[in-house]
A and B are shown apart, each in its own frame.
Chain A
Amino acid sequence: MECVGTTMNTALIRHPKHILFGIICLATLLRVGLLGKIPVGLYIDEVAIGVDAVSVSQTGRDMHGNSALQAIYPSYGDYKLPVYILLSAVSVKMFGTNEFAVRFPSAVAGVGTVVAVYILAKDFFQRSKQKERIALCAAAFIAIMPWSILFSRSGFEGHVGQFFLLLSAVAAFRSHKSIWWCIITALFGAMAVYTYYSVRFVFPVVLVGVMSIQMTSLQWKALVGKFLLSIMLWMVLLIPMVRSPLYEASQRFRLSARSVLQDYDKQVGRANELRSEDQFSLASRVFHHRYLYLVKDLARNYAANMSLPFLFLTGDPNLRHGTGKVGLMLFPTLPIFLIGMYVIARRYKKEGFVLLMWYMVSLLPASVPYEIPHALRSLNALGVFGLVLGIGADACIHWCLSKKRMGYVLLVAGFCIIIVSLGMFMADYLLSYPSRSAMVWFDGNKQAASFLASKRGEGVSLAASGDEKMFLWYAFYAGISGKELQTIQSISYRKPYIGSVKFGTNALNDALRANENGYALGTSMELYDDVSESIYGASGIPVYGVKRISPKGAK
């Protein structure tokens, strides 16, 4: 046992690059293996990105015919940012039109996050003699973190956004060396914002934090100047987004969800109810002010995003953002995390304060809407968790090594427990999660699109409903070219038809009433249970029905 413990520590100290390579390989395996098959289907945002990516890769324009270099893509009406789509366009060019290609940029960002956290840990804890060990531990924990693995395996922009945020922090740590690093910092910061909207709140805080860590009494003037340069350049780079004709609409769309900041009725209603019980006395105006209820709502949402069961046991209840059986981090890492927090509070007060601010501001986008807790919207905090776990693991290793035999036993036991826990998570993810989560991943839409594609050569009318945005899956899986898509007039950024296939409830009803040969595809309810054929999803569940339509009188 002693021998194993010593070997582990020696390896950590003497061969960091080999260990890092091993961690990267493990991270890649966990993120890229079966990437196109699990999760079982493409979510609407992923397929929309895929359609735009195909169109951009073929024509340099999105599905509506706008330039690929636009600041905001209208997509199917949810106004997406350009970076992920452009990265997917490259990926589609490399791997073809498939699920793997759409998710590949996120998987790369996942592996990149491991490397970024490794570098960042060394920068953050540069005062430590064991910074190499801290950095390796941080990278290893990111590599096996369910939160990172799950979002690396789905095409969500938020995950790539946090990767660019980490890169901007890495660049900011080097900005005292040369002005070019300031420019790179601003560029990565802008890339992050052009990937995911909520990063704009986090980037300035991270930048100020990183600068404050480097600040010494001698350098402060130069650093402030560089900070101002970075932040101003970053703001200049964001001008195209703010001045985009779609910016106002995109913000309206984003703020349309019910949130703490807009829940006027609930907060004012509660305040007024209590005030009236007090006959609107002066005390009641203070004790029951509506802003106190707003702050309380916000605090409740923050608390939900910080709750230990969410972080270490159950994760996000939304099955697209978690498996429902694992927390954002593996449960055995909880003690390491707590030790990490303690060590940071004890030895790295300044760095700890920066990490705390980073974490708190990262939770803001996740805490304003009522949909809590939210693993996707709080993704900007992923790096923070890696750093805390890294320092916690380093403290544990240090303690174990100082205790000789007993310490080695504990070290190996801890290592084994984490590996078993990872194994249990992956076993559930590979075996049970696909069928458990099939519905939320729109399982069946690919099969429906393939069915429609197989019938389009028959020269009959085709109508599809089920999901009103089915045109996206059809365009993606039927291999519709970007050029063809651009020629079709959109209604509210949605294509009412592609070739002979019409989409939407009205189209379906028209097809059912029409006196011509064709197929109607929809849910069994839409077809009044009059189904001649069922379309099954990859999980084996019947999702859609098909009705063969013939002219009246024909047999």
Chain B
Amino acid sequence: MKRLRTKQPVVSEQRIDRKYWFILLCIIVLAAGLRLFRLGNVPLSLYWEEAAIGYDAYSIAQTGKDYHGNPYPLLAFPSFGDYKPSLYFYTVVPFTWLLGRSEVAVRLPSALAGIMTVFAVAEIGRLLWRGKYGLIAALLLAIQPWSIQVSRVGFETNLATMLLSFGVLCVLYSKTKMRWLLVSTALFGLSMYAYHSARIVAPLLGLVTVLVVLGPQTIRKNILLCVSSLFIGLLFLAPILVNLKNPVISMRAAETSIFSDPSVVEESNVLREQQSFSPISRVLYHRYTLFGQKILKQYLDNFSFSFLFVDGDENIRHGTQEFGLLYHWEAVTVLVGVYSLIKKKKKEFWVIVAWTMIAGIPVALTTLSPHTLRFLSAAPAFALLSGLGLIEIVEYIRGNKIVSNLTLLGVILSFTFSFAAYLHYYFRHYPIASSVDWQYGYKQLVTTLETDYKNRDRIYVTREQGRPSIYFLFYGSEDVNAVQDQDKTIAKDQQELLRVGRYMFGDFIPTEKGLLVASSPAKKPDAAVERFSVSLPDGKQIWSVWERL
């Protein structure tokens, strides 16, 4: 009897353990399916930033230098002058070796990051509460529009979010084995090299998570390890801090910072002038008062129902515009999740609150709000909240069988319907609706020019569809060494090349006879002869290739 009593829980724990891992595996397979299925075709084509990442990664893989000729950039790649943090570029390199210059190679690191984040969320949920909370949260993250959308594009932010999630997870692991703290710091540090926003989120989130999860007593006990961990953190932070005034870091900040918006200063001046610059007006309408109000507004925009649950981001590359970041019904589960979180009153739960709150800071401090990508680091926290809320609802109504069954049915129906509706829209309608925003047509244009018009010495391409040179590099046959060599001498506009081999790029329509020109159909002169055209999936012509005879 005694033996039975001691053995039974072990067996059942093992069973639960096995069950947990099996379900988690199924969820990860689902997440992988949703992220990898037709990865190269949906979204229809590469956005110019993806193409730039792809070509820089190819350039690194071939020569050890980016296509501007910089050897192994550490902090950021100049790309189009927007100085993207470097880590994502390096994660694309091995896939470029394996798959060549392809859409899948560029997007695969993001998709894998999305899949791994699902695992991290399951584990965080398990460690904070119990296995089922983690599994539900992981399932929700696996199917949430926000996560799917970003995971299927070569967005660096998804990699940063994965690293942040694993950073939090390692802090939770460090409760049992303190050595995980070193790994955690390294992960938080790495995330700062993946995406700009993480440079604000990672230090704050890391600090709060460590303080909340470990507490001052544990920190005091393991002071040596904590100091080492802090040292690792500083090691990652140092290159960024040292180069704060270097354009590699400051350029992007200056371009996107909320303080670069002159309208606030103008408004302040007008309001103060109306009050004849009275002392009260100098305080009331001081530019910093107005900036403060704007920062608060932008911060709150992240948490608006419309953004989270109804429409999502205005930018169609960041969302379908038919769905919010989360499913509509998650408005209820997230709210209940927040309520349950506070009700539980355990200090670890404040990790989730801090995570959500800190993730909103980068959006508040930059232009354009709300912003799906800059706010993405909150996605795992929202999945955890929604999962917690869902389980709490189901458990709350468990007492009454009829109500319980009806609610469960309602939950399952809402869940299935919205998931199916999202998948239907995303794979069937979204590619058509968003084709222009994904610069559809460049690949078809380049490949046709490369195969059917090899003999032409010069071809002129207009810049109407935006940054053509990168597509001619990515899909074309120009030697990467030649591109790097020409970088210092060739004409550029904000780091965008205006010539690639025989291709010239500009804003004017040339009048030269016999010159092959690629432009929008509207710009084609009546007398010119069209050689071929490229159309969008909805049949609308986007490119016309013509020449004057």
Q: Which residues of A contact B (CB under 8 A)?
A: 274, 277-278, 283-284, 287, 296, 299-300, 302-304, 306-309, 312-314, 325, 331, 342, 345-346, 424, 427-428, 431-432, 435-436
Stretch among B5-13, B31-39, B114-122, B300-308 lining the A interface: B300-308
B343 x A287 contact (CB < 8 A): no
Q: How far is the CA of A314 from the CA of B300 in the complex (A)?
A: 11
Which of these, B284, B297, B328, contacts A313 with CB under 8 Å? B297
Least CB distance from B265 to A in Å reads 16
Q: Which residues of B contact A (CB under 8 A)?
A: 271, 274-275, 278, 280-281, 284-285, 293, 296-297, 300-301, 303-306, 309-311, 328, 339, 342-343, 420-421, 424-425, 428-429, 432
B284 x A299 contact (CB < 8 A): no
A303 x B424 contact (CB < 8 A): no
A308 x B304 contact (CB < 8 A): yes
Chain A positions within 8 Å of B301 at CB level: 309
A299 x B300 contact (CB < 8 A): no
Given contacts A427-B280, A428-B284, contact A345 B297 (CB under 8 A): no
Chain B positions within 8 Å of A274 at CB level: 425, 429
Least CB distance from B281 to A in Å reads 7
Identity of the chain A residue whose Cβ is nearest the Cβ of B306 in the assembled complex: A303
Which of these, B271, B274, B284, B428, contacts A277 with CB under 8 Å? B428
Chain A positions within 8 Å of B278 at CB level: 431
A331 x B339 contact (CB < 8 A): no
Chain A positions within 8 Å of B339 at CB level: 342, 345-346
B309 x A312 contact (CB < 8 A): no
Given contacts A303-B306, A307-B306, contact A431 B280 (CB under 8 A): yes
Q: How far is the CA of A491 from the CA of B304 in the complex (A)?
A: 47
Which one of B281, B284, B421, B425 has the greatest number of beta carbons of chain A within 10 Å? B284
Given contacts A303-B305, A427-B280, contact A277 B432 (CB under 8 A): yes
Which of these, B285, B328, B343, B424, contacts A283 with CB under 8 Å? B424
Q: How far is the CA of A302 from the CA of B311 in the complex (A)?
A: 13
Which of these, A296, A303, A314, contacts B304 with CB under 8 Å? A303
Chain B positions within 8 Å of A342 at CB level: 339, 342
Which of these, A299, A304, A308, contacts B328 with CB under 8 Å? A299
Chain A positions within 8 Å of B281 at CB level: 431-432
The binding surface of chain A is classed by DSSP as: helix
Identity of the chain A residue whose Cβ is nearest the Cβ of B537 in the assembled complex: A277
Q: How far is the CA of A111 from the CA of B311 in the complex (A)?
A: 40
Q: How far is the CA of A436 from the CA of B425 in the complex (A)?
A: 45
Least CB distance from B465 to A in Å reads 23
Chain A positions within 8 Å of B428 at CB level: 277-278
Q: How far is the CA of A97 from the CA of B60 in the complex (A)?
A: 81
Given contacts A300-B311, A345-B339, A435-B274, contact A287 B420 (CB under 8 A): yes
Chain B positions within 8 Å of A306 at CB level: 305
Additional A-B contacts beyond A308-B303, A308-B304, A432-B274 (6; CB < 8 A):
A277-B428, A278-B428, A283-B424, A287-B420, A287-B424, A432-B284
Q: How far is the CA of A299 from the CA of B311 in the complex (A)?
A: 10
Least CB distance from A363 to B in Å reads 12
A313 x B296 contact (CB < 8 A): yes
Identity of the chain B residue whose Cβ is nearest the Cβ of A307 in the assembled complex: B304
Which of these, B284, B309, B311, B421, contacts A287 with CB under 8 Å? B421
Chain B positions within 8 Å of A331 at CB level: 296
Identity of the chain B residue whose Cβ is nearest the Cβ of A302 in the assembled complex: B305
Identity of the chain B residue whose Cβ is nearest the Cβ of A341 in the assembled complex: B339
Identity of the chain B residue whose Cβ is nearest the Cβ of A296 in the assembled complex: B310
Q: How far is the CA of A306 from the CA of B305 in the complex (A)?
A: 8
Q: How far is the CA of A436 from the CA of B267 in the complex (A)?
A: 12
The 5 A-B pairs of least Cβ separation, nearest first, read A303-B305, A303-B306, A308-B300, A307-B304, A287-B421
B309 x A303 contact (CB < 8 A): yes
Least CB distance from B394 to A in Å reads 18
Chain A positions within 8 Å of B275 at CB level: 431-432
Q: How far is the CA of A274 from the CA of B281 in the complex (A)?
A: 53
Chain B positions within 8 Å of A427 at CB level: 280, 284
Which of these, B280, B304, B342, B424, contacts A309 with CB under 8 Å? B304
Which one of A284, A308, A427 has the greatest number of beta carbons of chain B within 10 Å? A308
Given contacts A287-B421, A308-B300, A312-B300, contact A424 B293 (CB under 8 A): no
Identity of the chain B residue whose Cβ is nearest the Cβ of A314 in the assembled complex: B297
Least CB distance from A292 to B in Å reads 8
Chain B positions within 8 Å of A313 at CB level: 293, 296-297, 300
Which of these, B271, B305, B424, contacts A307 with CB under 8 Å? B305
Chain A positions within 8 Å of B293 at CB level: 313, 325
Chain A positions within 8 Å of B343 at CB level: 346
Q: How far is the CA of A276 from the CA of B328 in the complex (A)?
A: 25
Identity of the chain B residue whose Cβ is nearest the Cβ of A339 in the assembled complex: B342
Which one of A274, A302, A314 has the greatest number of beta carbons of chain B within 10 Å? A274
Q: How far is the CA of A393 from the CA of B320 in the complex (A)?
A: 41
Q: How far is the CA of A509 from the CA of B79 in the complex (A)?
A: 64
Given contacts A308-B300, A309-B300, contact A432 B271 (CB under 8 A): yes
Least CB distance from A310 to B in Å reads 9
Q: How far is the CA of A35 from the CA of B483 in the complex (A)?
A: 72
Least CB distance from A294 to B in Å reads 13
B300 x A304 contact (CB < 8 A): no
B424 x A299 contact (CB < 8 A): no
Q: How far is the CA of A38 from the CA of B548 in the complex (A)?
A: 69
Identity of the chain B residue whose Cβ is nearest the Cβ of A308 in the assembled complex: B300
Least CB distance from A492 to B in Å reads 39
Chain A positions within 8 Å of B305 at CB level: 302-303, 306-307
Chain B positions within 8 Å of A284 at CB level: 424
Which one of B280, B300, B425, B429 has the greatest number of beta carbons of chain A within 10 Å? B300
Chain A positions within 8 Å of B309 at CB level: 299, 303
Identity of the chain A residue whose Cβ is nearest the Cβ of B303 in the assembled complex: A308
A299 x B304 contact (CB < 8 A): no
B310 x A303 contact (CB < 8 A): yes
Identity of the chain B residue whose Cβ is nearest the Cβ of A346 in the assembled complex: B343
Which of these, A283, A300, A309, contacts B310 with CB under 8 Å? A300
Identity of the chain A residue whose Cβ is nearest the Cβ of B304 in the assembled complex: A307
Identity of the chain A residue whose Cβ is nearest the Cβ of B369 in the assembled complex: A309
Q: How far is the CA of A224 from the CA of B271 in the complex (A)?
A: 57
Mind listing 8 A-B residue pairs with CB under 8 Å? A299-B328, A300-B310, A303-B306, A307-B304, A309-B300, A345-B339, A431-B281, A435-B274
Q: How far is the CA of A284 from the CA of B274 in the complex (A)?
A: 56
Given contacts A283-B424, A428-B284, contact A277 B306 (CB under 8 A): no
Chain B positions within 8 Å of A308 at CB level: 300, 303-304
Chain A positions within 8 Å of B300 at CB level: 307-309, 312-313
Q: How far is the CA of A368 from the CA of B297 in the complex (A)?
A: 25
Chain B positions within 8 Å of A431 at CB level: 275, 278, 280-281, 284
Q: How far is the CA of A428 from the CA of B283 in the complex (A)?
A: 11
Q: How far is the CA of A277 from the CA of B309 in the complex (A)?
A: 25
Least CB distance from B425 to A in Å reads 7
Least CB distance from B428 to A in Å reads 7
Least CB distance from A429 to B in Å reads 11
Chain A positions within 8 Å of B280 at CB level: 427, 431
Chain B positions within 8 Å of A314 at CB level: 297
B421 x A309 contact (CB < 8 A): no
Identity of the chain A residue whose Cβ is nearest the Cβ of B293 in the assembled complex: A313
Q: How far is the CA of A183 from the CA of B275 in the complex (A)?
A: 53
Least CB distance from A126 to B in Å reads 23
Chain B positions within 8 Å of A325 at CB level: 293
Q: How far is the CA of A283 from the CA of B420 in the complex (A)?
A: 10
Least CB distance from B252 to A in Å reads 26
Least CB distance from B179 to A in Å reads 37
Q: How far is the CA of A307 from the CA of B424 in the complex (A)?
A: 29
Q: How far is the CA of A392 from the CA of B424 in the complex (A)?
A: 44
Least CB distance from A302 to B in Å reads 8
Q: How far is the CA of A281 from the CA of B297 in the complex (A)?
A: 43
Identity of the chain B residue whose Cβ is nearest the Cβ of A274 in the assembled complex: B429
Least CB distance from B33 to A in Å reads 19
